[in-house]
Amino acid sequence: MWMHLSKYICNFIRTLTILVVLLYNNYILEWELDPHRIHSEGLPPLDRERRFCSHLGKNPSPEEALEERYLLESIAWPEPQPWSTSSPLNQTSDPAHSLFTILPAGGRREWHVGDQLEALVIMNDFQGFPKSHGGDFLLARLHSPELKAGVAGHVLDHGNGTYSVIFPLLWEGSVWVDVTLVHPSEAVPVLLRIREEHPDRVLYKSLFRSGLLSETTMCNLCLPTNQQPLCNYTDPHTGEPWYCYKPKQLLSCDTRINHARAGYQKDLITEKEALLFQSGVNLKTRIHAKASDSVTVLPKKKDKQEVESNSEKAAPIRTTASGYYFQGSWRGLGGVVMHQFNDPTAITQCLKGKMVYMYGDSTVRQYYEFLTRFLPELREFNLHSPVSTGPFMAVDIPHNILLKYQSHGPPISWTPINVSHLRYVANELDGLAGGSDTIVVISIWAHFSTFPVQVYIRRLRHIRRAVVRLLDRAPKTVVVVRSANLRAQSLQESLNFSDWFSVQLDGVLKAMFKGLNILLVDAWEMTLAHHHPHDIHPSPPIIKNMINTILSHVCPVKN
Ligand SMILES: *[C@@H]1O[C@H](CO)[C@@H](O)[C@H](O)[C@H]1NC(C)=O
Ligand SMILES: *[C@@H]1O[C@H](CO)[C@@H](O)[C@H](O)[C@H]1NC(C)=O
Ligand SMILES: *[C@@H]1O[C@H](CO)[C@@H](O)[C@H](O)[C@H]1NC(C)=O
Ligand SMILES: *[C@@H]1O[C@H](CO)[C@@H](O)[C@H](O)[C@H]1NC(C)=O
Ligand SMILES: *[C@@H]1O[C@H](CO)[C@@H](O)[C@H](O)[C@H]1NC(C)=O
């Protein structure tokens, strides 16, 4: 009862806030452009002068500013410590010198299902001395290979060079602890700096064409306003900014044909800074156990169960994990009873009569590809779209199933996409009637990792408002939001797409959609808990588990 009432109040406040917020215009973020570093695959370099974009549009509303501050605080990283360039590695975190220890549970080395397992990580530097401050980016996973079981660990930074890693114990048998250093704390300020100073490190271009004339110019979320005339493609509905330099020839801004990635800025970091990003040394590198990295988990204690249900104080298993793998299948801990959709007819039955709209980046396109491959009766309609960009559409006429994929708008960073296919997710959602036959799946994160977090917050805020509007007019619409996932990291990849950027976006996304009636597919944990290597495009078994999660939510098993 109280739960419902407080949910109702929450929704009411949220709606009120959104109404207020809607009265204000959006503002455009500004940042420094550094044209000196731009090497743009054969295009003329941007203007030679380093400058700031002038402040465009309106300031954020007080509510937006407050929310933004709260979100930024929620993902704040420990203050960087001074870093000595004269001995760049010596005092930085070294996985090879660092260790973790599995701590006894309540003084005993005995663990039962329902307990927690705690490991203590002690970080040392390259000279073997203990670190005295926190901020290392660690990932932890508990797993049992023969059971194909795995769960993500929760890492707690004590701020003094030690970290606790907590795992819920959810199955019996031998379990192993994996701890990985993704980045030493010293690498994080480097990432922070390039994120703030080089938000334009992925370059974008557009082709303008009319008759025999054609010209390509550079584009971005923000360009200097006083150097060259701009074409303003700010979205009239959401206010999302996008600009291109106006073609020099007699081509109007209306003659923009496509949008594409134009390359990357180079030389963003110094040689010494690059030492902080060495694969197998201090970039995504395992930390070893001091003694054993494994324990045996015994069956759940009987008396413990009774104590828990009888006593008000004893909380049920408190776990921050959103789910875990067992026998290779993901089991969500959020309430949805998982059901395996192993044969195509079960999926077809579930999706019968439904329209499935997928919006976002290639990580949701994978769902589209999975379903079109797996369901023989789902026929792809040829829209003559390029393979990576879409849009795509597939239909199963006998079962009245429609599947559509539409990429999100700029800053999508791909091979050329027609401007007519550049759509903002929020606007697409506004174009849906919704209802119990409509499933919406959204995944938008990977192309935002090179921008300041504020850009992502603003984008998600627009999407959230559109989701709220959709659920208001058609409450039975199923809305699924997929979070960010882990990916492979080399030096170059991590400068553009570090998991550290992703974990920040992931934190924002999860906070943004909290409390809404949506299904969150926790791709972060689903890729962390799985034994397959991290990949921007998670492997088919992970995708299948994500699809199962969605379908279990769409078609719950009736008791
Ligand atoms: C671009 O257009 C938007 C809205 O149409 C406006 O708010 C913004 O100031 C314009 N930008 C420039 C640089 O004129
Ligand atoms: C860094 O460590 C190495 C050996 O661990 C040592 O030889 C060297 O002098 C150290 N450099 C500085 C500047 O402390
Ligand atoms: C680090 O902090 C934790 C939590 O405050 C404390 O328990 C631990 O003793 C500290 N360790 C060191 C080495 O200072
Ligand atoms: C994009 O637009 C051009 C014309 O401007 C057209 O020739 C091309 O087929 C379009 N591509 C797609 C995928 O729609
Ligand atoms: C990432 O950025 C670097 C420059 O720092 C660049 O050389 C590299 O090609 C970029 N792209 C990828 C996919 O790593």
Nearest ligand to the CA of 501 is 5
- Is 37's pLDDT higher than 80? no
Lowest mean pLDDT among 257-266, 307-316, 460-469: 307-316
Distance between Cα 202 and ligand 5 center (Å): 8
The model's pLDDT over 361-393, given as tens digits with 9 standing for 90+, comes to 999 999 999 999 999 999 999 999 988 899 999
Nearest ligand to the CA of 389 is 4
CA separation, residue 252 to residues 206, 229, 240 (Å)? 13, 11, 21
Please check whether residue 481 is in contact with residue 513, taking contact to mean a CB–CB distance below 8 angstroms.
Answer: yes
Nearest ligand to the CA of 246 is 1
User: Which atom of ligand 4 is nearest to 257's Cα?
Assistant: 5
Nearest by Cα to 94 from 180, 184, 186, 187? 184
Q: What CATH number was assigned to the domain covering residues 93-189+274-304?
A: 2.60.40.10
164 touches ligand 3 (CB under 6 Å)? no
- Is 48's pLDDT higher than 90? no
Is pTM, for the whole model, over 0.85?
yes
pLDDT confidence of residue 6: 53
Distance between Cα 161 and ligand 3 center (Å): 8
CATH 3.40.50 placement within the chain: 322-554
Integer Cα distance of 185 and 98 in angstroms: 14
234 touches ligand 1 (CB under 6 Å)? yes
Nearest ligand to the CA of 261 is 5
Distance between Cα 94 and ligand 2 center (Å): 14
DSSP bridge pairs for 203: 263
- Is 330's pLDDT higher than 90? yes
Assigned fold of 322-554 = Rossmann fold (3.40.50)
User: Which atom of ligand 1 is nearest to 239's Cα?
Assistant: 4
Nearest ligand to the CA of 385 is 4
| pLDDT band at 59; cut points 50, 70, 90 | low
User: Which atom of ligand 3 is nearest to 122's Cα?
Assistant: 13
164 touches ligand 4 (CB under 6 Å)? no
17 touches ligand 1 (CB under 6 Å)? no
228 touches ligand 1 (CB under 6 Å)? no
Distance between Cα 103 and ligand 5 center (Å): 41
Per-residue pLDDT, averaged over 348-367, amounts to 98
The model's pLDDT over 501-553, given as tens digits with 9 standing for 90+, comes to 999 999 999 999 999 999 999 999 999 999 999 999 999 999 999 999 999 99
Question: CA 322, 63, 441 angle in degrees (round to 5)?
Answer: 40
Integer Cα distance of 376 and 389 in angstroms: 23
373 touches ligand 3 (CB under 6 Å)? no
The model's pLDDT over 466-508, given as tens digits with 9 standing for 90+, comes to 999 999 999 999 999 999 999 999 999 999 999 999 999 999 9
The model's pLDDT over 64-90, given as tens digits with 9 standing for 90+, comes to 999 999 999 999 999 988 888 888 999
The model's pLDDT over 294-309, given as tens digits with 9 standing for 90+, comes to 999 999 988 655 444 4
Query: What torsion do the CA atoms of 484, 490, 492, 497 make, to the nearest 10 degrees?
Result: 10
pLDDT confidence of residue 227: 81
Return the best residue to mutate from 86, 89, 90 for the ligand 2 pocket (most ligand atoms within 8 A of CB).
90
User: Which atom of ligand 2 is nearest to 126's Cα?
Assistant: 5
pLDDT confidence of residue 463: 98
The model's pLDDT over 82-118, given as tens digits with 9 standing for 90+, comes to 888 888 999 999 999 999 999 998 888 899 999 999 9
